[in-house]
Amino acid sequence: MTGNRPKITIQSADRYAVLRRVSFWQHDRVRQASVLVAGAGALGNEILKNLALLGVGHIVLVDFDRIELPNLSRSVLYREANEGQPKAEIAAAALRAINPDVKVSVINGDVGWEVGRGVFRRIDVVLGGLDNRQARISLNEHCWLTGKPWVDGALAEAAGAVRIFVPPDSACYECMLSKADYREMSLRFTCQGVALRGLMEGQIATTPTVASIIGAMQVQEALKLIHGQPVLAGHEILYDGQNHSLQIAQLKRRRDCFGHSTLGRIVEVPEFRAAYTTPAQLLARAQSDLGSDAHIELDHEVAVGLRCSFGHANQEIFTPRFRLRDRDVACGVCGKECTLTMAHVIDNRSGQLGTTLSDWGLPPGHIVRARCGRQSLYYELTGDIGETLPWIKVEPKEETSCPKKSES
């Protein structure tokens, strides 16, 4: 029944006409915003759907998984015919069909290792639809180093949680973790820090209803951040679907937490690209800027050799450790795990200087640290940004830096 309530007429030519009536709505802010979504599972589907309906201008979607039939009961963007296809690609196509105004960029990869920090620098808000702690730690590190707020979501049957992290002053995701959490995560890796097969991905029993609720809450927080409104930074919102209760808890910021680092001086280098620039070229630039003793420090280790503990033949390899699985480091004779020889610095003594930065495990648009004594610079592989984020026009800039941590 409408009673005597006045009838509201809406211009049919404007798909955002109702949204424009929202008291706080600033359409230009929403249209120009860039949001990175990590994960395209049940939670990611709900996040992405809402972002598209709202007309958020630019979405970067990161996921390395493929669609399976059990996904269909919780994922609104997928269909049975999509089985076996990349989640990110199919979700992106669905978003474009929902709202052609939205520009979607896809990264088929692991958010921990295959998204350059130069990409994060150009994002307004990050939303996590992840299912394991290790991935969340990686996302937290990227966001803190680049000073970007992120909203984490977590599901558990008929319950869920939303956590809001805003660098540099709020608690971060790692502030929440206990020693027991780190011990549990260590069980996913061999003694050499290599991932065990079948243990990297979580299988969460949940419903599409709770995913819809948590995803909507995450997007609502993103909207507030886009509009410059206050958010519950450093808080966790707990939802219990059985009792329809909400609890809000403040997360304690640990002063000794390693997750609060930020990047220093960043030099954008438009001629550098991960797939084409060699370590020798990057090293030469660093030595020109910092001195002949300059070297490059990687965020990860690269395996350069295998040694069997039982005296069988040694083997030279060249693979970033995060790309290795337990079968890759087993001795071909006895089957036991080999000892790895690692490198995490590129200098004049390094081998493989004629390869590419991609071969060394650097993703497109990454930011790499160069050091000489107490001096250091961060070089951005800026030549990749225009391809990864095609709506951004890359122009040479002066040195920049990410927000520094406050003294409090």
Give the pLDDT confidence of 196-242 residue by residue, as tens digits. Answer: 555 444 567 889 999 999 999 999 999 999 999 999 999 999 999 99
**Rounded CA gap, 330 and 310, in Å?**
12
User: Mean pLDDT over residues 380-405, rounded?
Assistant: 75
**Rounded CA gap, 331 and 32, in Å?**
53
- Would you state the pLDDT for residue 26? 97
**What percent of the chain has pLDDT above 90?**
74
- Would you state the pLDDT for residue 188? 61
Average pLDDT score over the chain: 90
Instruction: Count Cβ neighbours within 10 Å for each residue of 263-287 and write b for 16 or more, e otherwise.
Output: beebbbbbebbbeebbbebbbebbb
Q: What is the pLDDT of residues 241-283, one digit of tens each?
A: 999 999 999 999 999 998 999 999 999 999 999 999 999 999 9
Residues 219, 136, 204, 163: is their CA dihedral positive or negative? negative
- Would you state the pLDDT for residue 398? 47
Least confident of 314-318, 359-363, 376-380: 314-318
Question: Pairing relation of β-strands 400-401 and 339-346?
Answer: unpaired
Q: What is the pLDDT of residues 325-377, one digit of tens each?
A: 888 888 878 878 888 888 999 999 999 999 999 999 999 999 999 999 999 99
Most confident of the following: 192-196, 317-321, 374-378: 374-378
**Rounded CA gap, 232 and 85, in Å?**
37
Position 193 pLDDT exceeds 60: no
Domains and CATH numbers, the chain: 17-260 (3.40.50.720), 265-401 (no CATH)
Q: pTM value?
A: 0.89
Structure-token pair, residue 31: 């249209």
Which of the four pLDDT bands, split at 50, 70 and 90, describes residue 407? very low
Instruction: Find all residues with CB under 8 Å of 173, minimum gap 6, and list them.
Output: 136, 137, 139, 140, 152, 163, 165, 259
